[in-house]
Structures are given as C-alpha cells and as structure tokens.
Chains A and B, each alone.
Chain A
Amino acid sequence: MRLRGVLPRLTEPHACWSCRGPVPAAEPFCPACKAVQPPGQADHFARLGFSRTFDLDPKLVERRYFELQRKLHPDRFATKSPKERALSQAQATSLNEAYETLMDPLKRAAYLLKLSETGGEGKTVADPALLMEAMEMREALAEARTPAEVDSVVAGARRDAEATQAQLSRDFAGDNLEAAKKTTLRLTYLDKLIEDARARRLNVA
C-alpha cells in the first residue's frame, strides 16, 4: 500500500504524566516509572503491532490483543489511583476498537480505505451489475422455505464471501483502491445476506 503523509513525528517522545520523563510514542507504559500512559493517536494496525495491510492472520491479531489486554485491562488497575484506572480504561477501549476493526475482514477493508482516502470522495457510484447480483441473492433467500434451502443459500453466500475476501487481498496488494472499494461493497452485501439468512434459519427451524 502507498503511504501518505509527511515524514512521521511518531518517534517523538511525550512526557510521562507521572515521572515526567520521556516516553516513546505508542508505548503503553513509561520505561522509567512503569506508569500506564494515554493511548495516543496510533491507528488500529499500529496499536496491535501490525503494518497497514489487509492480509492479517486472525489468530495473530487475537494473540496480540490478548497479550496487550492482559497488561492494560482495567482489571489490572482495580486498586490503582483514579488517574491510572482512567488511563487503563482508555487503553482498553482503544484496544477493543482496534480488535473489533481488524478481526472483521469487512471492517478491516473499510478502515484501510478510510486511512488511504486521498480526498473527500468516499462515495462509490452504484455498480448496476453488483446491485443486480445483490438483488438475486436476496430473492433466493426470500424464496428459501425449508432449513435445508436456507442452509444452501448461506453456504453459497459464505463461499462467495471467501472469494470476495481473496479478491480484496489482491486489490489491496496491487494498491488498486478503486477496485477495493467495489469489492468491499460486495462483501458488505454478502455479510448482510449471511446475517439475515442466519436470522431466517432460526425462524424456519
């Protein structure tokens, strides 16, 4: 992916609120006095120690998330000062947001697009072929009457979703953001379809 922006200020340290010594950016703890720091401005990828890429191993995302929550979760600060408890809450909040965003391929793709937006043109022009396809999928679900029929729609949508994720991976790897936008939209439809099918499955069962 193309990187945007000027040379980073990201290595500039800030002063620890407790011992007032220097703390490198994005460090959750002060290296000298070990006090927990505010979460700062790191993006969701940096927060969990990844570079900006669509291809993330969910197991690894989860492992980093658990490792960091083990140190930063408010449960670790229950008997600390109000200030430290508040900072831990802010840190854990940021971690949760990063985790939720990176674990879900759709949210991850949308976030990558947002980070790489060059101008304000966030809207994608409706793609007639895609709309038609989405309508057909909806119809198939609406017509499914038995659990087996719903299951078959779900299985089809899941296969499509996997293929769409593979496509997204290629789009991002090739830095083809316009294509990635379209593919992301397709994944949005598919996810919604799978979600609705799940709800329907409960009703027909």
Chain B
Amino acid sequence: MTLLQLHEPGETPLPHEGEQTIAVGIDLGTTNSVVALATHSKPEVLRDADGNGLIPSVVAYGEHGPVVGTAAQARIVDAPETVVSSVKRLMGRGTADVKALAGTLPYTLDAAEGGMVRLLVGDRRLTPVEISAEILRAVKAQAEQHLGREVTKAVVTVPAYFDDAARLATKDAARLAGLEALRLVNEPTAAALAYGLDKAAEGVYAVYDLGGGTFDISILRLEKGVFQVLATGGDAALGGDDFDHAVAEHWLADRKAELGSEPITASEAKQTLKSARAAKEALTAREAGDFPVMLRGKTTLHRLTRGELDRLIRPWVEKTIAICRQVVSDARLDLAEIQGVVLVGGSTRVPQVRRAVENFFGKAPLSDIDPDEVVALGAALQAEALTVGSDTLLLDVLPLSLGIETMGGLVEKIVDRNTPIPVAKAQEFTTYQDGQAAMLIHVVQGERETVADCRSLARFVLAGIPPMTAGAARIRVTFQVDADGLLTVSASEKTTGVEQRVEVKPSYGLSEDEMARMLEESLEHGREDMERRLLIESRVEGQRVLLALKAALEADASMLDADEADRIEKARQGLAQAIEGDDRDRIKAAVEALEEVARPFAERRMDRAIRAGLAGHSIDEFKGDPGGCLAPDPEDQKS
C-alpha cells in the first residue's frame, strides 16, 4: 500500500479561508496563453482591459525585469536578443531536440548539467521552466486583475502527447509562478469537454489540435457526462512554428547569393520568422501577398501565394494525417464510427489543414468554438469540477508507452500507450551475474524498440541486492502513473525480504534543490508561504479528525459511558480551539491527544462489528458473490 501513498508535505491544497476557493483554467500555449474561469458550468475567458483574451507567450528580459505578452512582442524589433518566444517547445527537452533556422537557433542555448536546456538571454541563464513561469505569472496577474481577487489554483493544460519530462516541467513552472496546478489536463480532452458540454454531444469524436508547436489527435467517447479518451497520439514538436520555418527558409533561399556562407544572427532569425508568421496568417484570407524580410540591414519584399504556402507546408500537414490514421487504428475504430471531428489550435485556421482534415475524416470539421480559446474554456470547466464538484468525468490515457532498458539496449515495455490512467504496473527482472549487488534501472518513454530511439526519462541504481547466483534475484520494478500522467518508479528486491525502494523523478525535470532555489528567488513565495501552507495543512487534518469523530459518535455514541464521553468531549474542544489558533505544533498535539482518548471507543466499535459479522451471517450469503479474497491475486500490486 505504501507504494501508492505518494504525498509530500506542502502539497495539500490551500483552502482560501473565509471565501470560496476559485480555480482558473489555463491554456499555456506555444504562441498564446489564455485563462478562463467557469461559474455554474459556464466558462468565460478572462480578458484584459482592451478585451484581448490571448496573451502572447513571449517574454522580454529588459533592464527593468521581465515583460510578457504584447509588450514583449514589440521588443522583437529593437531588442530581439532579449526576447524569448515558443519556449513551450523546449519544455522537458534536451539540447538535441531544438530546431534551428538555417543553422541558427532563435535562442542562444547552453547545454547544462542534468540535460535540461538553459537559454542565455542577455546576462541571464534561464531554464524553460523559469520562462514559462514568467508567462504564467502574467496570466495569473491578468486573471486577478479581471476578477479583483487572488488566484492561487489552476488547471493547466498540456499537449496530450507531452512526455513525462515535459509534464513535470509544466507543473514546476506553475509552482514557481505561485499557482497550484490542481491537475494537468490534456489539451484535446479539455477541448472535448468544452464542446461536449456546450453542444450536449454524445458519441465518438476526434479532436484535431494543431497549435503553434504541438500536434495532438485524440479520439474520445462522450456518453452521459463521461469523456472517455479511447486513444491519443501526436507530435510534441510539430505545429504552426514549422510552417513559419518552412516559409522563412524559402525566403532565405531567395537571398542566399547575397548572404554568402556567413550564418544569419539569432535576431535576424527571429525577425524572419515573425514575418513568415504574418504571411501565413495573411494567406488564410488572401490568395497572395508581398512580405518584407530584413537581413544585413536591407529589407526586401517577397511574394508568396497560397499555392506556394500549401506546397511548403504540405509535408507537415501530411504527417498529421498519418498520425490520425494510426490513432484511429489504435482506438480500434473504423472511420465511419467517428461522429464528428473538432478543430482546436490556431494553426487549424490554415485552409489546407482544414481541407486535409475534412478529406481524411470524410466530414466537415466543427470549429464553432474559437479554436484559440476552446482549450482554456475546457480547462476552466475542469477547474470548477475539481473545486466545486461536477457530474462530468474525464477518463484519460497514457500517451506514450513506458518501459525500461534491458540487455542489448532494448526496451521492455511496462505500461502500453493508451492505457487508462491512473495505472500501476509491475514487472520482475533478475540479475545476470553471480553475486551482482546492484542494478542500473533506466526508464524510457516511447514506442520504439531500442533505447536510443526513445526518450530517456531517468536512470537510477538499485543497490544492496544480496549476493545470489545469476538469475536468482527477483527485482520488481513498479511504474505508477497518476491522473496528471506523471510517473513514479520504484524498485525492490523480494526473494530475501530485503526491500529497497527507490523512487525517481525524471532527469529532465528540475531537481528539488534547483526548485527550492528558484522558489526562494521569487519573493512572493518564500518561506512564509511554506509556513502558511503547513499551518493550513494541519488545520485541514484537524478538521478531518473532528468530522470523523462526529460521524463515529453519531453512529455509536451509545457505546460510551459518561466518563469516557466527557474525556473525548474535552479533547475534542481542545482540538477545535487549537484549529482556531496559528500554532501548527499545538494542532498536531491536539490531534494526537484526541486520537489517543478515542482509541478504546474505536476498538470497541471494531470488536462489535466483527462479532456481529461472525454471528449474523449464514453460508447462503456467500453464494451470490464469490468475489472477495477467495484467492488473492499473488501478482496484485495494489497490496
């Protein structure tokens, strides 16, 4: 059981004393971020004073601290070296994953210890987590301004195809921004929730979500408030950014002669990409246009037609359709069984994308909820469901298989993709040498057979295996994936009863030390906040004990004599008073005191129930339901 009780102090949600808790939904996008709030199942985007709901996911690191959004975007022209955009593509990634334009990255990167990328911006050295946190702070501020109150909880969306490292990085970013991420929800699932509730849809739907940097396709079944994901797939590095790159490369090729062999600068790369993006957007409504490109101080105009754009981006569009095909097959469905297809993400505004989706699914796609806002609206609905309660239920799946490395660099899969989460799976491995005392466990994620083709999530050593002959040890590796899609791995050696348990967090995430340092650096969430959190946690625990006692007394108060009832009542009052105060240790002591005084009462209740159970049952009662513990499953990992 201990295996599944994964909790750390400091993680209890903070109940907002005196007022109802609110939680917002945040779509932390590659290009834009959106925040929404649902009240009575009606979600609404929280806009700024000018009515803008989209906050560009762009951060400029100026002399007076970071600026986010439109203001940051404006600096691309005069101070491009201080501006960072599309940072989502770097979440949970190593240096090798970053895409270059004409050999030049639009950022300066510093590959550092731990594998996580660092961006060099001016004299700063920043992780994608910190930059994302900056965006989330701006999103939080916009929500607070709109609502006129503090916001501390959120549901944050992630691409369904995000791997474990990218999910963890997103959760860390929220924490750093002073937001408790109540749940990470997959973007297509959030969109389905918004559509399903709005349109009262039932049946099987596909959600095609092409954003700025990520592509997801999910197939869901909607039935009486249940949103069940049947299969999901995608590409965490495919999106509108790739369209921009294709156009920019095309223009750079036009000017190749004058550019010579000298590489363009990061600033030039940024500006060319910006112009390419403007061209792509313009061509959704027009057939052709002329677009400026500034290189080496000289601006030239370049003509681009929709036909040329289509040709340039076709490979990526076709790639998304190939992924759709695979996912339909994974869901074990025929195309005819899919009732509708929903378009999500700004890149689905590109006419060629719409056509391709329509051709593949054989029906006109739905896009009547703004594809830029639908994910945030769904996230807001889920945020309300988590805090206020709801009849709807989201059942999601693991997007990418999880496994460990075995001999010869091969992957042994432990949890298959599209398995409903939360899930726990265990597998046994053994030693291959006599007397082997340690074993390296390498956790990977992906669909390919070899370790080299999968993403490496973590490596850890299980030490202290007692000396045995090769093949005698029984090393049980357990994978637990929670409802956020986050993995915890543990391993133990069982034959000798020596149990060593190691829990790992992916190496692409931030270490606890790094996290602590960053939290310390951000002033608003220092020690004080931690103390407050621990106090509220102990109050929550105290309340729980009071409520449990109340229920027990209501059921069985007759089992108490006056003396005992009196002692329990005194202890109860002691705890109730302690909860009113601000002393965490006092609350803890009062909880222990009450539990001690009430223990004989609890024991008597148990004894009576067991005696009643033995006396009151006849053999007939067991005929109907032969379940229970007749033959406990020896491989049951839940014990």
| A-to-B contact residues, CB < 8 Å | 3-5, 7-13, 15-16, 18-22, 25-26, 30-35, 38-39, 41-43, 45-47, 49-52, 66, 69-70, 73-76, 78-79, 81-83, 85-87, 89-90, 92-94, 96-97, 99-100, 114-115, 198-199, 201-202, 205
CA A32 to CA B556, docked complex, whole Å: 9
> Is B431 part of the binding interface, using a Cβ–Cβ cutoff of 8 Å?
no
CA A198 to CA B226, docked complex, whole Å: 28
* Contact A35 B393, beta carbon cutoff 8 Å: no
CA A43 to CA B633, docked complex, whole Å: 7
- A21/B549 contact (C-beta < 8 A), A26-B628, A92-B483, A99-B420 known: no
Q: Mark each residue of chain B from 401 to 436: 1 if its CB lies under 8 Å from any CB of chain A, else 0.
A: 000000000000000000111111000000000000
What residues of A have a CB within 8 angstroms of the CB of B638 in the complex?
A: 39, 41, 90, 93-94
CA A81 to CA B391, docked complex, whole Å: 21
Minimum Cβ distance to chain A for residue B298 (Å): 49
CA A65 to CA B206, docked complex, whole Å: 23
Number of B positions contacting A (CB below 8 A)? 77
Minimum Cβ distance to chain A for residue B186 (Å): 13
> Is B580 part of the binding interface, using a Cβ–Cβ cutoff of 8 Å?
no
What residues of B have a CB within 8 angstroms of the CB of A83 in the complex?
A: 5, 7
Chain A residue at minimum C-beta to C-beta distance from B556: A21
* Contact B606 A13, beta carbon cutoff 8 Å: yes
- Among B11, B391, B624, B627, point to the contact of A45 (Cβ < 8 A): B627
Chain A residue at minimum C-beta to C-beta distance from B182: A78
Chain B residue at minimum C-beta to C-beta distance from A71: B393
Shortest 8 CB-CB contacts between residues of A and residues of B: A46-B627, A10-B628, A22-B609, A82-B7, A20-B602, A33-B551, A19-B548, A78-B386
CA A155 to CA B48, docked complex, whole Å: 57
Residue of B391, B393, B627, B638 most packed against chain A (CB within 10 A): B627
* Contact A96 B626, beta carbon cutoff 8 Å: no
What residues of A have a CB within 8 angstroms of the CB of B480 in the complex?
A: 93
A-B contact pairs, 26 of them (CB 8 A): A8-B629, A9-B628, A10-B627, A11-B621, A11-B628, A18-B548, A19-B552, A20-B598, A21-B555, A22-B609, A32-B551, A35-B544, A70-B391, A73-B483, A75-B483, A79-B13, A79-B15, A79-B21, A86-B5, A86-B7, A90-B1, A92-B422, A92-B483, A93-B422, A93-B480, A96-B423
- Among B482, B626, B632, B633, point to the contact of A89 (Cβ < 8 A): B482
- A25/B628 contact (C-beta < 8 A), A19-B549, A20-B599, A74-B482 known: yes
* Contact B4 A93, beta carbon cutoff 8 Å: yes
Chain B residue at minimum C-beta to C-beta distance from A34: B551
> Is B183 part of the binding interface, using a Cβ–Cβ cutoff of 8 Å?
yes
CA A131 to CA B281, docked complex, whole Å: 59
- A81/B541 contact (C-beta < 8 A), A43-B631, A75-B386, A86-B6 known: yes
What residues of B have a CB within 8 angstroms of the CB of A93 in the complex?
A: 4, 422-424, 480, 638
* Contact B385 A75, beta carbon cutoff 8 Å: yes
- A12/B613 contact (C-beta < 8 A), A32-B555, A43-B631, A97-B423 known: yes
* Contact B633 A51, beta carbon cutoff 8 Å: no
> Is B513 part of the binding interface, using a Cβ–Cβ cutoff of 8 Å?
no
* Contact A15 B602, beta carbon cutoff 8 Å: yes
> Is B12 part of the binding interface, using a Cβ–Cβ cutoff of 8 Å?
yes
Chain B facing A: main interface SS: mixed
> Is B586 part of the binding interface, using a Cβ–Cβ cutoff of 8 Å?
no
> Is B438 part of the binding interface, using a Cβ–Cβ cutoff of 8 Å?
no
What residues of B have a CB within 8 angstroms of the CB of A9 in the complex?
A: 628-629
* Contact A66 B393, beta carbon cutoff 8 Å: yes
What residues of B have a CB within 8 angstroms of the CB of A49 in the complex?
A: 625
CA A199 to CA B224, docked complex, whole Å: 32
CA A44 to CA B631, docked complex, whole Å: 12
What residues of B have a CB within 8 angstroms of the CB of A69 in the complex?
A: 393, 395
* Contact A75 B183, beta carbon cutoff 8 Å: yes
* Contact A10 B393, beta carbon cutoff 8 Å: no
* Contact B610 A5, beta carbon cutoff 8 Å: no
* Contact B556 A202, beta carbon cutoff 8 Å: no
What residues of B have a CB within 8 angstroms of the CB of A19 in the complex?
A: 548-549, 551-552, 602
What residues of B have a CB within 8 angstroms of the CB of A81 in the complex?
A: 12, 540-541, 544
* Contact A51 B627, beta carbon cutoff 8 Å: yes
CA A205 to CA B322, docked complex, whole Å: 11
> Is B584 part of the binding interface, using a Cβ–Cβ cutoff of 8 Å?
no
- Among B385, B598, B608, B626, point to the contact of A3 (Cβ < 8 A): B626
CA A56 to CA B582, docked complex, whole Å: 55
- A90/B4 contact (C-beta < 8 A), A8-B629, A46-B628 known: yes
Minimum Cβ distance to chain A for residue B465 (Å): 26
- Among B329, B554, B598, B639, point to the contact of A199 (Cβ < 8 A): B329
CA A194 to CA B422, docked complex, whole Å: 28
What residues of B have a CB within 8 angstroms of the CB of A18 in the complex?
A: 544-545, 548
Minimum Cβ distance to chain B for residue A72 (Å): 10
**Which of B117-142 touch A at CB < 8 Å?**
none
Minimum Cβ distance to chain B for residue A121 (Å): 16
- Among A30, A38, A74, point to the contact of B483 (Cβ < 8 A): A74
What residues of B have a CB within 8 angstroms of the CB of A199 in the complex?
A: 329
What residues of B have a CB within 8 angstroms of the CB of A3 in the complex?
A: 626, 630
What residues of A have a CB within 8 angstroms of the CB of B391 in the complex?
A: 70
* Contact B605 A21, beta carbon cutoff 8 Å: yes
What residues of B have a CB within 8 angstroms of the CB of A79 in the complex?
A: 13, 15, 21, 182, 386-387
> Is B326 part of the binding interface, using a Cβ–Cβ cutoff of 8 Å?
yes
> Is B636 part of the binding interface, using a Cβ–Cβ cutoff of 8 Å?
yes
Minimum Cβ distance to chain B for residue A185 (Å): 20
Q: Mark each residue of chain B from 44 to 85: 1 if its CB lies under 8 Å from any CB of chain A, else 0.
A: 000000000000000000000000000000000000000000
* Contact A52 B329, beta carbon cutoff 8 Å: no
Minimum Cβ distance to chain B for residue A30 (Å): 8
CA A81 to CA B554, docked complex, whole Å: 23
> Is B502 part of the binding interface, using a Cβ–Cβ cutoff of 8 Å?
no
CA A42 to CA B617, docked complex, whole Å: 19
What residues of A have a CB within 8 angstroms of the CB of B15 in the complex?
A: 79
Residue of A21, A42, A73, A75 most packed against chain B (CB within 10 A): A75
- A32/B182 contact (C-beta < 8 A), A41-B639, A202-B325 known: no
